[in-house]
Amino acid sequence: MQRWTLDLNRPDWRNALEASAVCSAITNGELVAVPTETVYGLTADATNGEACAKIFAAKGRPQFNPLISHVASLADAQRHGEFDSPALDLAKAFWPGPLTLVVPKKKTSTISDLATAGLSTVALRVPEGPVMRFLSEKTGCPLAAPSANRSGKISPTRADDVIADLEPCLSFIIDAGPCSIGIESTIVGLTDGTPRLLRPGGTTREDLQGVLGSSLQGAPTNVQPDAPEAPGMLLSHYAPNAKMSLNACEAVPSDALLSFGPDRVPGADQAYAEFNLSPRGDFAEAAANLFRGMRTLDASGTNTIRVQFIPSFGLGEAINDRLQRAAAPR
Ligand code: AMP
Ligand code: MG
């Protein structure tokens, strides 16, 4: 594996990347770890079934769980999916950005059936992170990219997280520093005439509803771990080795504490270890720190991570979703 450190503040980063062997690795069906604004993605040519199979194998991901394809523009996305008027409104308002749209897959789409888990729908995103867009544009490929971690484990927001989990599977990792948003994209389903929030994430429900002019419904089916209708909604996910205990009212010396905001729970100073997601109580800062905080406390050797209450509006909805899945029975 080759590590490529990229300074996105330098105006010539595109030339450097284009001159590298990263693009040809992708078109040859190899796996590359790519930073986005949400998390690092384990990336492959979405039109190449064998390359997508490598993603599932590397992650240990069940094949019923489809992959998001990343493209450079709305026009590129429309080659693969049918956009009705709410889908177009959302794409225009939030792309590039942390929003994935699940839409009917076009018969002419070249995205492999493995990437879409054989469904008649396709998940598409134009990321804000410029590296993924650049690679899609240069290779001419939609890029399948789930988070670059073993399935069910904590998502990676820094290159070292990826290397710890997946180094042997990668041809390249592009290291552009920590991800700015730090939690995965919001997923909205637009396949049955009703926009549905399939997963909260980096674009808030409130912002989406502002554009749609109506409230977002939830997923259409009851959540079953192996039901393809809601393929990504696995109850246990983002899990550290330590047990997670939510909405802690107090800290104890035997347990680590994942805290939030300026208010201290009783006993906080005696906790086994502490990581404050945002001492000033800012959701965006807390989201960006969430997975690093979970990894840090997990590495402290504690058996249990207690989590202070975090309100569930704005980005707090996605933060609580990740925490609840991390705390779910495994
Ligand atoms: P991940 O790559 O782990 O962030 O997860 C991507 C998620 O996107 C999956 O787990 C699904 O929940 C969702 N997804 C992708 N494709 C589809 C699809 N065609 N229909 C419904 N959900 C999808
Ligand atoms: Mg993931």
Residue 235 confidence class, pLDDT cut points 50, 70, 90: confident
Which pLDDT value is given to residue 231?
57
Residues in the chain: 330
The domain that holds 248 is classified in CATH as: 3.40.50.11030
* 61 and 152, same domain (yes or no): yes
Ligand having the closest approach to the CA of 152: 2
For the entire predicted model, the pTM comes to 0.95
pLDDT digits (tens, 9 = 90+) for 131-160: 999 999 999 999 999 999 999 999 999 999
H or E stretch at 179: none
- Total number of domains in the chain: 2
User: Residue 279 falls within a domain, yes or no?
Assistant: yes
* 258 and 210, same domain (yes or no): no
Domain that holds residue 304: 243-327
Compute the distance from residue 44 Cα to the ligand 2 centre, in Å: 15
Nearest-atom number in ligand 1 for the CA of 184 is 4
User: Residue 148 falls within a domain, yes or no?
Assistant: yes
Residue 97 confidence class, pLDDT cut points 50, 70, 90: very high
Which pLDDT value is given to residue 237?
84
* 168 and 287, same domain (yes or no): no
Considering the chain, what percentage of its residues have pLDDT values greater than 90?
92
Mean pLDDT throughout 67-95?
98
Mean pLDDT throughout 171-195?
97
Mean pLDDT throughout 249-264?
97
Residue 105 CB partners (closer than 8 Å, separation 6+): 80, 81, 82, 111, 116, 119, 120, 121, 122
Residue 242 CB partners (closer than 8 Å, separation 6+): 256, 297, 298, 302, 303, 304, 305
Is any atom of ligand 1 closer than 6 Å to the C-beta of 123?
yes
155 marked as binding residue: yes
199 marked as binding residue: yes
Which pLDDT value is given to residue 228?
46
Cβ atoms < 10 Å from Cβ of 84? 13
* 93 and 199, same domain (yes or no): yes
64: which strand partners? none
* 174 and 51, same domain (yes or no): yes
User: Residue 238 falls within a domain, yes or no?
Assistant: no
Compute the distance from residue 182 Cα to the ligand 2 centre, in Å: 12
Minimum CA distance residue for ligand 1 atom 7: 232
**143-144 vs 243-248, strand pairing mode:** unpaired
38 marked as binding residue: yes
Res 222 pLDDT > 60: no
Residue 291 CB partners (closer than 8 Å, separation 6+): 39, 154, 155, 156, 157, 161, 182, 183, 238, 322
Mean pLDDT throughout 277-297?
98
User: Residue 226 falls within a domain, yes or no?
Assistant: no
Nearest-atom number in ligand 1 for the CA of 234 is 10
70 marked as binding residue: yes
Which pLDDT value is given to residue 39?
98
* 193 and 249, same domain (yes or no): no
User: Residue 66 falls within a domain, yes or no?
Assistant: yes
